């Protein structure tokens, strides 16, 4: 996730508590989606889609924070 912006992500993880919270939550959701897809965490399709949408929303919010950081530090 955000491989091309890893330096910015690392900075934000240390400097921005909101970004860190979003990042940690994204990792948790990613793991839950993976477990559901593997069948180790039983989940109906509706719940799985809801998790995927929440994960994507978090990723979009983090991307916005990254872009704002990039613009402010040019």
pLDDT, one tens digit per residue, over 44-74 is 899 999 999 999 999 999 999 999 999 998 7
Count of domains observed in the chain = 1
Q: What is the pLDDT of residue 74?
A: 74
Average pLDDT, the chain: 93
Q: What is the pTM of this model?
A: 0.88
| Residue 28 Cα distances to 21, 25, 66, angstroms | 11, 5, 20
Cβ atoms within 10 A of the Cβ of 38, count?
Answer: 8
Residue range of the domain that includes 46: 3-72
Q: What is the pLDDT of residue 54?
A: 97
Burial letters 48-65, b for 16+ CB under 10 A, else e? eeebbeebeebbeebeeb
């Amino acid at each position: 996730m955000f491989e091309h912006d890893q330096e910015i992500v690392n900075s934000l993880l240390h400097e921005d508590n909101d970004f860190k919270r979003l990042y940690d939550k994204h990792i948790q959701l990613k793991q839950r989606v993976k477990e559901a897809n593997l069948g180790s965490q039983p989940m109906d399709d509706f719940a799985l889609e809801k998790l995927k949408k929440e994960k994507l929303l978090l990723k979009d919010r983090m991307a916005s924070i990254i872009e704002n950081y990039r613009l402010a530090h040019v």
